[in-house]
Chains A and B, each alone.
Chain A
Amino acid sequence: MSTPFYVSPEQMMKDRADFARKGIARGRSVVVVQYADGVLFASENPSQALHKVSEIYDRIAFAAVGRYNEFENLRIAGVRLADMRGYSYDRRDVTGRGLANAYAQTLGTIFSAAGEKPYEVELFVAEVGDVASEDQLYRLTYDGQVADEHDFAVMGGAAEVVAAHLEENFVQGCTLEAAVRLAVAALGHSEQGDRTIGVDDLEVAVLDRTRAQMRKFYRLRGARLSELLLPTVADPTPRGSAVDSEAGSDTAPAPDTDL
């Protein structure tokens, strides 16, 4: 009979963490930027159907990097948890903190359970409040650690490089326009030089507290996104038209309807 090798607990955890980290580093980054009216998510994602950023509840959204099947599972669990809370108590009783806790416990248990493969994912859970100071942003790692983030955050492949660009250029309380440009520029930033990511390869969504509906989440895409990304013009006319179309998009289709 062969004797099993002894592996110290430290080594085992380190191996599992390395495994998860490697999986996460393979993916592209997701950027979260707080702006005056809410929270903006951006990611380079050529797929129009497989989302990295999604709505969870009225004021709560979710973004993830890593293995799609694993974070999709977590997203659905989050939607179920939020809807269950909202149905059994009230819509106001669904909080980002509660959701972040549930995710942290789940990821932590899976990470330390010997029989299970650790999840190769990292998550953001964001919630917008009535005013900017009430906005919350949590980052959850594969081992179930939770961190409270402010202003901006990045996760995924080239997180350090992208974060460095954000660190240099972030301005507190910026407009949606500025936030989109900053986030997209940061995603295209690398040590080898900057590149411009096409509108079709971007997944951008916001939680906008000024939205009239209860559900504050909506996606920015197509013409609306191109308009926001246009090179800065000092002329006031195009700015005015951008505001118009923003108001227009508020009355337009429910979030998530068009894939």
Chain B
Amino acid sequence: MTAPPDDRMTELRQLFFETAGELVQKLNDEAMQLEKSPGDAETARSLRRTVHTLKGDAAACGFRELSELCHEFEDVLGNTAAAASVPELALRAADVFAAVLEAYRKGTKLPSIQALRMDIAHLAHPAPSGTEPAKKKKASAKTSPWSEYDQLAITRAAADGKQVHHVAVQVDPQCGMPIAARQMIQLALSGLGEVLALYPLEGSLGPGDRIEAALASEKPVEQIRAKCSIPSIALNVRVKPLRALAPSYRLPTVSVPDSAGKNKEEDAAPAGAHVTASDATPAGEQSAAAAMPGGPDNVLRVDSERIDNVLNLVGELILAKSMFQQTLLEFGQRFPKDVLRGKFSDAMAFQGRVLNDLQHSVMKIRMVPVDQLFRRFPRIVRDVARQCGKEVDLLVKGGQTDLDKSILDAIAEPLTHMIRNAVGHGIETTEERVRAGKRPQGTLRLSAYHQGNHVVIELSDDGAGIDPDKVRQRALSQGLLTSEQAARLTETETLDLIMQPGFSTAEEITELSGRGVGLDVVHSVLGHLKGTVQIETALGRGTTFRLRLPLTMAIIRALLFCVEGRLYALPLNAVAEIARAFEADIHQVEHYEVLQLRNDVLPLLRLGAKPPTLPETARRKVFVLVIHSGERKFGVIVDEMEGEEELVIKALDDQSITTDLVSGASILGNGKVVLILNMIALMDRFTRGRVAATNTQMSGLLSSVAPVESMASAGGMATPDTRAHCTVGGRA
């Protein structure tokens, strides 16, 4: 209560935007539900409640346009005659509401809401079909023409002692320009006094319709009537006093948290319309609470930045833990018999456990159910399916699977794109499906599940599948690879081509599948997230995209190793096993090196430079990290293993990165900088190296990374890293 009002207002607005976003989503859901089962009274009621809540919230926050729009919409929803067109309209309303909210949030110009307004008004006063104007009149007469705002205005005017008239004018059916006619009537009315309300709204008027207005005027009724009897426009004019308002109407929520103003408003309102202002505020709060999962009592809304701060601190703690361990190790080496060593060790173990729990707890805070993203998709599937005249069902599974919020945000766009793609291109048209002997409705399955330290998101369609030959040809014709390379590609590698930048199919250039982004977005985002994407397809039966995402981005368990004396790391879960081998065991087959590992021949990727073939180097032992990624399996040759460690990843700024092979950096307990290798890029090199057929590309990969590393150690990394580095150095 002691907070300054504008602070409270800011907070309130923030809350409003969050809840309003959810309400719009809810509106989307309900509209689609209603579309599926038309006439479902419960859904219809629920939809109306949603709009009502949004109206109340918007009004409480002072967003008048949105509130009015909601109000008009809500009115229409009460009209059962219009039920059939409600779902479509509700979906459009949801879009407009979302756009309006966005404009409010950014403080930009409001988008045009006229079109929706017209449609809403159209529903309220069904279009003139020429033959039944009588029925029309009846329908419009049934609903009270005044919105809550109008009623408030009327009440205020009446309270000010003004005479308020209800003016009803029928537009001459001969008049071909009813909207211009409405403008004339409006002009005439404003010449007489203050026009408090005028219906129907612009654009929804047909010839012969009735225009109703609330006019505050001191002029005699006779003069008003004469003034409104405009030749060629007005057919008959009725003017009657308007004073008694239905007592049941609710005072619009004018609860800007400025109590002084509120009181004034209440004072001004006559007893008939008096509703305590307190009625408005709880309504807003309730809606906010109701929109949140898990009930209103035990949910806290926290700015994600604050959580990130905590997570950052936890990261630093983990760094400190590594420092302790390092120190303890040195201590143990220097005083192997000291009893203190055991005590330290116990304390460390205890602290480590707690730290572990802490880390997991914080990470859990950042976790949100993937449903937050998935709920958007039914609408997208519906819209895209409609656009291309297909019928597509979307089945969602595992919506409760938790995923780091930042990861979820990051995959929102690529996943949306994939879904559009699947509906637009993956699933065939109804005719094609029938011809192929399939169900006319296509099915899109979207599921999420945990797999170890990963979350897997699968999107499969039962469409035509992808023809690898066509992909190959397309890639060839677009010059993405040579025919020689194309011939070497395995099927998996071919399919991966569709995610290469620059690859596009003719259809993809249509507006449908998105705004000029190809599936390469998926590839690059997944690479950035250290996830993988895998494509499976069966011609005629469908395609499955499998995204494997890390649970969280900030901390990874990594395997540390040395190449040519420099320290690198790979995410531990990418490494399936570690093998030792003599240089002599590594053979050159065609263009790449291989190692016989048990019964398999493992293709190899050499990070360092290839040693000259000498007798003494043949006896040298190296380590081979066996990497499993999707269907691929390959080995990475490294010089020394350094152990595993939990790494707090710090992003490198773009200037320091000269290669995509490095995705981040971290600092070890002993202050050393380690570069984290980008699995995806490695794999790309591997694939490309094979097809490029030059073995120089297959070794010495990391030579190009070297300058980066020296820069990093010299403190040339992004600021936070430099700082962390110094801290470590200072204390160690």
Task: Check if A and B associate.
Answer: no
The residues of A with any CB-CB pair to B shorter than 8 Å are none
The residues of B with any CB-CB pair to A shorter than 8 Å are none
